Structure 1
Amino acid sequence: MLFRHASLISLLYLLRQGSASLFTDPTQVANKSYDFVIIGAGAAGSVLAHRLTEHSATNVLLVEAGRSNTDGPDVRDIQVPYFVVDIPPSFDWNYTTVPQKALQNRTLSYPRGYVLGGSTSTNFLFYTRGSSDEFDRLARISGDEGWSWKAMLPYILKASARLLPQLDMTLTLTAHRTTLTAHPTRPQTETLTPPADGHDTHGEVDPAVHGKTGPVLTSLSGNASVLDARVLQTTAELAAEFPFNLDMNSGNPLGVGWLQSTIGHGVRSSAATAFLAQDTLARRNLDVLIGTRVTRLVQTGRRGSSPVFLGVELAQSAAGARVQIQATKEVILSAGSIGTPQILMMSGIGDAGELAAHGIATVVDAPDVGKHMQDHPWVPLQWQVNTNDTLDSINRSPDLLNAAAEIYNATKQGVMANNPGGNQIGWFRLPRNSSVLREFGDASAGPSSPHFELTFGNSFLSFTQPVPAIGSFMSMCVALVAPTSRGSVKLASASAFDAPLIDPAFMQTPSDVATLTEAVKAAQRFAAAPAWADFVIKPFVAAVNTTTDAAIRAYIADQVATFRHPMGTARMSTSELDSGVVDSRLLVENAVGLRIVDASIFPHIFGAHLQAPVYAIAERASDLVKRAHGIPL
């Protein structure tokens, strides 16, 4: 954890957006009329609120359980990129998992953003779209070509603007290059901004697959690391296994490339800063209510044999007054892969037997609600290194940290303006002749989708081990990208104020254990390349004995943590599944007036850090909603 010093906090200054239409009491909106009520102001909900209110005649209420991202003495802790490893608990739901059977029955911390912007305001800032295979699989199994890579590109690039404003994009991939064709009229979302130090990024990114006019700001690292040259040298020395990839957001992520983070001008760029900025909050047709939970969805009638859910019940404490709001067109659940199934079940939408156990009458028997949860588990590996030029020195020294703060305050540059998770990232597949693939098959979305991920950190990184008091380190985070284990989210009680029972079921299939074991061995091969010969001293003590498969598996059981990417708990019905929760338009099946837009709808785990794919899903969902209700696009 980072050392905080009072003088450091007093030094920091950051741009803040206004709070023109933020409400803090549900009674303030109780008597208003809304076309849409959106539950959850994370990556999806913020996009939906912004896009739907682009048409001035459409009225929207956005409800967020958490706090403001701009008010309070500690808001700097979610705005300064370097502080990402130590987010204060007031911005978090502070969930924990149930004991994990395959992890020595450990109970894991399970962070989720409790603030405007949701987890985009508290995550590790990685901007990764995933492969073309991920979207193509979703289209194939849902029977809806609208989810394909080709069809989703305009929405991905709506979060990924081009060089000129008001352009729509079509991306064409070939074996060795990426080209982009522009089509007029569609607004954009992502903007590739210069790195904090302004260095020439030629050879580090392909600008053709990014934009320059959208609200979500992304950038490459603006703080050089002692690891950079050695990581790149390894891609040359071991090119067959660890090739260089100019831009992994082109649709083919495989290889090692420069990390793109949601940072602009030295400050975190979140769904809140991008889509709920002052000009959006000033819209007369958007109200944003914070600090308020949805206790249940309210049935407001029937249409044929299906219940209509256009009502929402709100409260600010378990014993507090209940306030009901009613939408005229739709209620849209964007509460995330934990909150969405919890709200559905509290509303009588879920497995009938589980609902009855909590005294909840079943309105829609939907056994898949809360089931099929997946997440990306990861393990840390560290090596002691022959240099003092790592971030460990800054993390241990109040004086050095305050000196870095002075640089940041004056220039928005230096280590604090950058992602401490590292400057490069790598995505890899098991080799074609892998015994793991022969035995268990391929769980990935296709040949351009990875099985595992490596990141390269210039310090000691871990959420399961204490930071050493002395020594300089480099770290690799080794993540399982295509796990087959499936867990669940279940109710602990019928109250919205009791945390649900979260079970990601990490490492509970033999294929997951085998694949992550191979990933650890790949990381060890990377660190054993000639580029590291005079740099790496030895593995950190906890990993010294990871020289056999059995030892690696024991290490995995002891060290696995979450990469914070839950999904699948309200999955889309597809051709290969017996059941689901939403259809391909994201409408809740066997109900009327209710749509789900967040990571819970993925029927298979998505091979990426989730914010970029969810932005894209929400952009398309915004158009689906507009078309359904005759709202101009």
Structure 2
Amino acid sequence: MKKRYDYVIVGGGSAGSALANRLSADAGTSVLVLEAGRADFKFDPLIHMPAALMFPSGNPLYDYKYETDPEPYMGGRRVAHTRGKVLGGSSSINGMIFQRGNPGDYEKWASFEGMQDWDYKHCLPYFKRMETTLAGADAWRGGSGPLVLERGPASSPLFQAFFEATQQAGYALTDDVNGYRQEGFAPFDHNTFNGSRMSASRSYLWPIKNRKNLDIATLSFVTKLRWDGNRVTGVDFVRGGRRHHSVDAGEVILCGGAFNTPQLLQLSGVGNPEYLREAGVTPRVELPGVGENLQDHLEVYLQHESKQPVSIQPWLKKWKAPYIGAQWLFLNSGVGASNHFEAGGFLRTNEDVQYPNLMFHFLPVAVRYDGTGGDHEHGYQVHIGPMNSDVRGHVRIKNADPKQHPSILFNYLSTENDRREWVEVVRTARHILSQPAFASFDGGEISPGPDCATDQEIIDWIAKDAETALHPSCSVKMGTDEMSCVDPNSMKVHGTEGLRVADASVFPSITNGNIYAPVMMVAERAADLIAGNTMLEPQDPPVYRAKAGMPLWPQGDPRNDAWDAKDEIPSAAKVMAEQP
């Protein structure tokens, strides 16, 4: 390790892996990645076997094990938040689902002050640059990027029943939820290839880890930024839990995510002076938005027992693990080679939203994300939750100790609109799962069960049973208004020099799907902004939008009138109102 680098990247997770690859492509630029977790060893099946995704959750070798403060609208319970404690970050332990979000998400981003160049047409070429879509490249999808994306196959009887049921319920299939039309149901893209997880580390770092201008240091926990006036000149970190080090940097780029990035900023004196003083930190740069605007997706599992032996439930039995492992290790196949989140879809629950606010993940098994609760012979489930909740939370340090987890509060279920959408979500899911296509499979609803029927009973169940979908974001948002923290044209932290941020924390608002793909897009685009490269040319292929609701584009833009009427998909509320 050198004494000085051009770029020091704090965090070797999803965004950090991509930035390390792109910035070190210039042989004259020196790059250091500091990752607090350990290496993602090739021989670790809990990382690389897709079906093993449930085992790292809650395991301190893989998971930082964050949890929220008592959530006031969820009975005061704390909600566990799994975050990856390994190179590749959460991309090394997540569900491997690849969802870009809706084009409308990026039109929403562009509507925020200073964010005009983060609309869909400017983001699309960076999505395409990072992808190798095995289902085929086209105007919307990439075909030569580092992230290999498999699709489906979603061919089992339960998946086929799910697709048939969605159509019986009045909804449509779509070719590609990341392409022209997100709204509808389809096999999902996932970050796997030849039976193995394709994490950000494996995709971006493994191929270039021997570059002479790139150093990657694991077990290196950054404790504070070093300053000269308002310029960041390097970082202090602890290596291996004991040895204290410092390194100088031309630029420091924070890629710690929605929890770690605001925590490190606050520990270093950047944030709301009132909160910093309360925590025993001397304010250096007044930036009240640091740690605010925190957003996430909450989800529940709506589970059914299956009367037919067609689920993967029996494979959860512990005595079958050696066979699953051997089949995966030697043949790259079998139950272990899939994440099993092979299909789902997106809907609008009401006519007031302009694009989908509900995402479905369908699974041919009834089990919780951490592997518990799978005590039925056969079952299936959908993961469901509102995608564009209007609740907001915060991340705030409790004291000046960098090892102390910060205060994290999302305020789940705190708004009337959020609670209303949750009722719509559950009723929509039940509507689909009650269709004739499931009649020969349906052995009854396991969770929440038939006793959960009224609006209030649904909300009470959500408060008691819901989990995070593990999409924390937006806590150091881009923009130019008074609560923004990061310049969207340079990724620089407002009021500082030599300090940038590029991770999920810079989202101004959460996207309506799993956030891994948007994080990688932000990192790809940030790499060009930071390096001073010529930005990729905007691309503007047509995209589907619902007739109902607000326009996707600025007022007066002719694209607002270009929707194809025969493609219109009704909202869930309209479908259920029109059916007997």
Please state how far the C-alpha of 1:408 moved relative to its aligned partner: 2.2
Give the SS at the match of 1:38: strand
What residue in structure 1 maps to residue 14 of structure 2?
Answer: 43
Instruction: Rate the CA distance shift 1:629–1:539 in 2: closer, same or farther, 3 A.
Output: closer
Within the candidate set 212, 223, 227, 1:299 is matched to 227
TM-score, normalised on structure 2? 0.88
What residue in structure 2 maps to residue 255 of structure 1?
Answer: 184
| Residues 1:122 and 2:64 are matched in the alignment | no
Within the candidate set 415, 425, 442, 1:519 is matched to 425
Within the candidate set 591, 603, 612, 2:517 is matched to 612
CA distance in 2, matches of 1:243, 1:334: 38
Instruction: Rate the CA distance shift 1:342–1:534 in 2: closer, same or farther, 3 A.
Output: same
Give the SS at the match of 1:227: helix
Residues 222 and 417, structure 1, Cα contact 8 Å, conserved in 2: no
Within the candidate set 69, 80, 86, 2:49 is matched to 80
Within the candidate set 425, 450, 454, 2:344 is matched to 425
Instruction: Rate the CA distance shift 1:317–1:488 in 2: closer, same or farther, 3 A.
Output: farther
Within the candidate set 231, 245, 250, 1:323 is matched to 245
Please state how far the C-alpha of 1:223 moved relative to its aligned partner: 6.7
Question: 1:296-319 CA deviation, whole Å, 9 max, x = no partner?
Answer: 111123xxxxx111221111377x
Question: 1:23-62 CA deviation, whole Å, 9 max, x = no partner?
Answer: xxxxxx2x43211111111111111110011110011111
What residue in structure 1 maps to residue 289 of structure 2?
Answer: 368
Paired AA for residue 247 in structure 2? I
| Residues 1:510 and 2:416 are matched in the alignment | yes
Please state how far the C-alpha of 1:226 moved relative to its aligned partner: 2.4
Paired AA for residue 418 in structure 2? D
CA distance in 1, matches of 2:447, 2:123: 46
CA distance in 2, matches of 1:368, 1:360: 17
Paired AA for residue 523 in structure 1? A
CA distance in 1, matches of 2:8, 2:411: 33
CA distance in 2, matches of 1:463, 1:130: 22
CA distance in 2, matches of 1:463, 1:156: 28
CA distance in 2, matches of 1:629, 1:312: 29
Instruction: Rate the CA distance shift 1:135–1:415 in 2: closer, same or farther, 3 A.
Output: same
Residues 387 and 472, structure 1, Cα contact 8 Å, conserved in 2: yes
CA distance in 1, matches of 2:112, 2:409: 26
Please state how far the C-alpha of 1:492 moved relative to its aligned partner: 2.4
Please state how far the C-alpha of 1:142 moved relative to its aligned partner: 3.6
Give the SS at the match of 2:398: coil
What residue in structure 2 maps to residue 228 of structure 1?
Answer: 159
CA distance in 2, matches of 1:332, 1:470: 47
CA distance in 1, matches of 2:11, 2:432: 41
What residue in structure 1 maps to residue 383 of structure 2?
Answer: 477
CA distance in 2, matches of 1:251, 1:358: 48
CA distance in 2, matches of 1:476, 1:496: 38
| Residues 1:406 and 2:326 are matched in the alignment | yes
Residues 49 and 197, structure 2, Cα contact 8 Å, conserved in 1: yes
Give the SS at the match of 1:322: strand
Within the candidate set 158, 163, 168, 2:129 is matched to 158
Question: 1:581-606 CA deviation, whole Å, 9 max, x = no partner?
Answer: 11212211111111110010111122
Residues 54 and 369, structure 2, Cα contact 8 Å, conserved in 1: no
Residues 79 and 267, structure 1, Cα contact 8 Å, conserved in 2: yes
What residue in structure 1 maps to residue 445 of structure 2?
Answer: 539
Give the SS at the match of 2:258: helix
Give the SS at the match of 2:360: strand
CA distance in 2, matches of 1:474, 1:376: 21
Give the SS at the match of 1:373: coil
Please state how far the C-alpha of 1:263 moved relative to its aligned partner: 0.3
CA distance in 2, matches of 1:97, 1:237: 40
What residue in structure 2 maps to residue 378 of structure 1?
Answer: 299
Where does 1:12-161 land on structure 2 (aligned, <5 Å)? 29=1, 31-70=2-41, 75-87=44-56, 88-159=59-130
Give the SS at the match of 1:103: coil
TM-score, normalised on structure 1? 0.81
Let me know the Cα RMSD of the aligned residues: 2.1
In structure 1, the gaps of 5 or more residues are 1-28, 160-189, 194-200, 302-306
Residues 40 and 64, structure 1, Cα contact 8 Å, conserved in 2: yes
Paired AA for residue 256 in structure 2? A
Please state how far the C-alpha of 1:496 moved relative to its aligned partner: 1.4
Paired AA for residue 227 in structure 1? L
CA distance in 1, matches of 2:152, 2:382: 17
Question: 1:134-182 CA deviation, whole Å, 9 max, x = no partner?
Answer: 11221232434431111111111011xxxxxxxxxxxxxxxxxxxxxxx
Please state how far the C-alpha of 1:573 moved relative to its aligned partner: 2.4
Residues 567 and 602, structure 1, Cα contact 8 Å, conserved in 2: yes
Give the SS at the match of 1:315: strand
Percent identical? 29
CA distance in 2, matches of 1:431, 1:125: 29
Please state how far the C-alpha of 1:396 moved relative to its aligned partner: 1.9
CA distance in 2, matches of 1:472, 1:130: 32
Give the SS at the match of 1:90: coil
Please state how far the C-alpha of 1:207 moved relative to its aligned partner: 5.9
Residues 359 and 385, structure 2, Cα contact 8 Å, conserved in 1: yes
Paired AA for residue 71 in structure 2? Q
| Residues 1:191 and 2:132 are matched in the alignment | yes
Paired AA for residue 345 in structure 1? Q
CA distance in 2, matches of 1:464, 1:285: 39
Residues 215 and 274, structure 1, Cα contact 8 Å, conserved in 2: yes
Residues 71 and 411, structure 2, Cα contact 8 Å, conserved in 1: yes
CA distance in 1, matches of 2:447, 2:395: 36
| Residues 1:602 and 2:507 are matched in the alignment | yes
Please state how far the C-alpha of 1:245 moved relative to its aligned partner: 1.1
CA distance in 2, matches of 1:41, 1:465: 27
Instruction: Rate the CA distance shift 1:309–1:628 in 2: closer, same or farther, 3 A.
Output: farther
What residue in structure 2 maps to residue 489 of structure 1?
Answer: 395
Please state how far the C-alpha of 1:464 moved relative to its aligned partner: 8.7
What residue in structure 2 maps to residue 313 of structure 1?
Answer: 236
What residue in structure 2 maps to residue 579 of structure 1?
Answer: 483
CA distance in 2, matches of 1:558, 1:511: 19
Within the candidate set 234, 238, 249, 2:169 is matched to 238
Residues 386 and 421, structure 2, Cα contact 8 Å, conserved in 1: yes
Within the candidate set 497, 500, 517, 2:406 is matched to 500
Give the SS at the match of 1:61: strand
In structure 2, the gaps of 5 or more residues are 536-580
Bigger mean CA offset, 209-218 vs 261-270: 209-218
Residues 47 and 615, structure 1, Cα contact 8 Å, conserved in 2: yes
